[in-house]
């Protein structure tokens, strides 16, 4: 049986924990709002990029001159998995659900006899994948110290991917990130970026695209556009991830705060009961002592 | 005067959207002006200053690379960075010029070097332009 002092100390520590989780939840809520605004602001660019690229891609599709970033290497042997996760934990299942999706994909590809390479953006994903796939991880890009995700970070990652692609290090690249649906629901998503997969919607604009003039030539424009498109995709993934992370952290911390509250209630109850029992016991001792005289 | 729909988008935000009379765009192969009814075209941009003319006057916007699409719907410019001349941070430009100069010092002659030198020239042109407008 714990002494009253022990129980007091424990109660105080639970209360302190609750204060921390409560504060983390509020911080996450305000960061979430900022991340959501950023994600929404980036949407028009990505959408228009998709449309324009879809137009040009359908114009050059079928011709032999299509650049490799668009058409792929023609092989399907080496897969690059770009796993984007957070730098910090304490955000529920956010990191592990992305890592799990990547792990399942990796296992499936290995079972098919394909080669895989993993590029991790964010420390947490690397930590989780290192144990099983340590020898496949070719690079870890840490985002620590990055307060607000800018286009520059995405470009950095995209440049690394393009450089490796041009070195013939892989044939197919897939981005893993968490799509932000709502505070309680983030969907881990795999998106193939090299060669890019266009939405079927792009097909409908094909007719209008026929009359475009290109300056410089289509090929040169595509050479410029495709790496940029990759940066945009990575940027979008990072922004969605940032919003998802804060959302996941917010709901995880909300749960933690509630659980701490429940614990405090129970501990206070036991503490008070024990205290009363002690007082009663002492009274009985005094009274029976007095009676015995 | 007939107007065309003009949208300027950077990865971080939608910078400008609206009806304008004319836009002068710094294309990779030379500046060009876009009026209503322009033939559809796609081009890449060099770092430079984009001028938007509306009934009310002129806006100057600094764009550092990107591309432009003219379609029947109007002109869409997707820029890597886009800031109005007033907001543009000259320090950023100066820093980038410094980085490129360092890279040029390290490179062997070749295509990459040529590209970088072109880029440097463009950046310096923007810088000169800004210095010029600041003095007016």
Q: How confident is the model at residue A13 (pLDDT cuts 50, 70, 90)?
A: very high
Fold of B4-84: ATP Synthase; domain 1 (2.60.15)
Element (H, E) at A131: helix A123-133
Average pLDDT over residues B89-94: 76
How far is it, in rounded angstroms, from Cα B1 to Cα B22?
A: 10
The token pair that represents B98 in the structure block:
């410094």
Check pLDDT > 60 for residue B54: yes
CA distance A50 to A47: 5
pLDDT exceeds 70 at position A203: no
Which chain A positions have a beta carbon within 8 Å of B78's beta carbon?
45, 48-49, 52
Q: What is the pTM of this model?
A: 0.81
Residue A65 — pLDDT band, cuts 50, 70, 90?
Answer: low
Distance CA A33, CA A243 (A): 8
Instruction: Output the furthest CA–CA distance in chain B (Å, rounded).
Output: 52
Interchain CB contact of A151 with B (< 8 Å): yes
pLDDT of residue A199: 57
Whether residue A248 has pLDDT greater than 70? yes
Under 8 Å between Cβ of B14 and A41: yes
Please state, in angstroms and as integers, the Cα–Cα distance from residue B12 to each residue in A23, A42, A44, A239, B9, following that order: 29, 5, 9, 10, 8
- Of A92, A85, A82, A94, the closest CA to residue A144 belongs to A85
Interface residue B40 vs chain A (CB under 8 A)? yes
Annotated active-site residue in A91, A120, A158, A242: A91
Percent of chain A with pLDDT over 90: 43
- Mean pLDDT in chain A? 86
- CATH classification of A22-198+209-252, choosing from 3.40.30.10, 3.30.70.3270, 3.40.1380.10, 3.30.9.10? 3.40.1380.10
Burial (Cβ within 10 Å: 0-12, 13-18, ≥19) of residue A214: middle
Is residue A7 within 8 A of residue A270, CB to CB? The reply is yes
Chain B residues touching residue A232 (CB < 8 angstroms): 11
Q: Domain locations in chain B?
A: 4-84, 90-135
pLDDT-derived band of residue A204, with 50, 70 and 90 as boundaries?
very low
Banded pLDDT at A61 (limits 50, 70, 90): low
ipTM confidence score:
0.70
Mean pLDDT of A51-56: 76
CA distance A237 to A218: 27
Which among A203, A200, A269, A253 is positioned nearest to A90, based on CA atoms? Answer: A253
Is A91 considered catalytic here? yes
Q: Do A211 and B13 touch (CB under 8 A)?
A: no
Q: B13 to chain A: nearest residue by CA?
A: A41
What does the pLDDT read at residue A207?
45
Indicate yes or no: CB of A215 within 8 angstroms of CB of B27.
yes
Task: Return the pLDDT at B133.
Answer: 59
Question: How large is the average pLDDT for residues A72-90?
Answer: 87
Domain residue limits, chain A: 22-198+209-252
Angle among Cα B128, B82, B26 to the nearest 5 degrees reads 60
Is the pLDDT confidence value at A57 over 90?
no
Preceding peptide of A216 cis, ω within 30°: yes
Higher pLDDT, A43 or A239: A239
Question: Which of A11, A15, A5 has the alpha carbon at shortest distance from A278?
Answer: A5
């Amino acid at each position: 049986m714990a002494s009253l002092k022990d129980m007091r100390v424990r109660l105080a520590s639970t209360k302190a924990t609750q204060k921390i989780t409560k504060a983390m939840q509020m911080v996450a809520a305000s960061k979430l709002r900022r991340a959501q605004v950023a994600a929404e602001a980036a949407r028009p660019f990505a959408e228009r990029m998709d449309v324009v690229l879809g137009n040009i891609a359908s114009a050059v599709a079928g011709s032999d001159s299509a650049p490799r970033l668009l058409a792929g290497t023609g092989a399907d042997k080496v897969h690059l998995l770009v796993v984007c996760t957070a730098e910090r934990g304490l955000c529920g299942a956010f990191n592990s659900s992305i890592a799990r999706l990547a792990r399942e994909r990796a296992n499936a590809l290995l079972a098919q006899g394909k080669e895989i390479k993993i590029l991790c953006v964010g420390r947490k994903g690397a930590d989780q994948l290192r144990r099983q796939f340590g020898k496949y991880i070719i690079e870890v890009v840490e985002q620590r110290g990055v307060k607000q995700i800018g286009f520059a970070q995405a470009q950095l990652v995209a440049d690394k991917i393009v450089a490796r692609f041009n070195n013939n290090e892989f044939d197919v690249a897939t981005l893993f990130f968490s799509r932000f649906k709502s505070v309680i629901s983030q969907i881990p998503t795999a998106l193939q970026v090299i060669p890019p997969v266009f939405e079927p919607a792009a097909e409908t604009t094909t007719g209008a695209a026929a009359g475009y003039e290109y300056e410089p030539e289509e090929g040169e424009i595509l050479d410029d556009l495709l790496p940029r498109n990759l940066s945009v995709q990575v940027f979008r993934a990072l922004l969605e991830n940032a919003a998802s992370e804060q959302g996941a952290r917010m709901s995880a911390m909300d749960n933690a705060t509630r659980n701490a509250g429940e614990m405090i209630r129970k501990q206070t109850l036991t503490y008070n009961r024990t205290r009363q029992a002690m007082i009663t016991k002492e009274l009985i001792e005094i009274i029976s002592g007095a009676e015995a005289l | 005067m007939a107007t065309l729909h003009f949208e300027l988008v950077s990865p971080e935000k939608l910078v400008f959207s609206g009806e304008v009379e004319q836009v002068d765009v710094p294309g990779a192969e030379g500046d060009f002006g876009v009026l209503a009814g322009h033939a559809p075209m796609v081009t890449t941009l060099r770092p430079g200053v984009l001028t938007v003319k509306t009934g009310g006057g002129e806006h100057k916007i600094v764009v550092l690379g990107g591309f432009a699409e003219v379609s029947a719907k109007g002109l869409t410019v997707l820029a890597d960075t886009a800031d109005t001349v007033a907001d543009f941070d000259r320090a950023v430009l100066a820093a980038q010029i410094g980085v490129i100069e360092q890279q040029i010092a390290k490179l062997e002659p070749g295509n990459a070097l040529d590209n970088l030198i072109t880029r440097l020239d463009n950046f310096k042109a923007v810088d000169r332009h800004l210095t010029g407008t600041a003095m007016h």
